[in-house]
Structure 1
């Protein structure tokens, strides 16, 4: 990881803002891998950053809370609703409700509000 990598929940990741339409031809606005979160420049929101960073957390810990097996997704379309997506949606919503901003998740050049970040293990459907 680069030395200036964002960090949240004890995990570092690479944050990349990409051009509009560069992630799956417009089907996706954001994607996460084990170490990288990519979000289209005009789509960086608290929900999206928290959602994608939750995927990094899931992949690094090989963990998905059992409560999300069969849980509905809050924002995903039915065709994309899986337990991992339902969990990431719930953490994203919890971050918005807590008044967090992208900077609280380490997103570069974004304001840090100092909110109480939701713990992925404590968020429930």
Structure 2
């Protein structure tokens, strides 16, 4: 009886491990997938209206924007090459983006822009001032 149980157990276990082999196409020519990829459904329309005009970019004509300051002084070169300073008599500003044809050493100019007291520069001199308008003063 024990022998019969052992044989039956072996047959059951042997049949559990068998997996049918994968089917291979009869031709050896590669096939390409021609099925259409699934496209996600469109999103529902948003209740927020989209802008119809492009955003306004900062221009010299917007000099009255909050935070824009106009200062006047004499231009000088900094101790580092390529650094341009504006001395107002009480403050010294590092001019960033000033018109190089106008902001030359010795010239009296008026610039509008935004001071950036915490800004880091390689010039290490004066308060960084991002210029949006330069004119002879």
TM score, norm. by length of structure 2? 0.21
Q: Which has the higher strand share?
A: 2
Larger Rg: 2
How does the TM-score come out when normalised to structure 1?
0.23
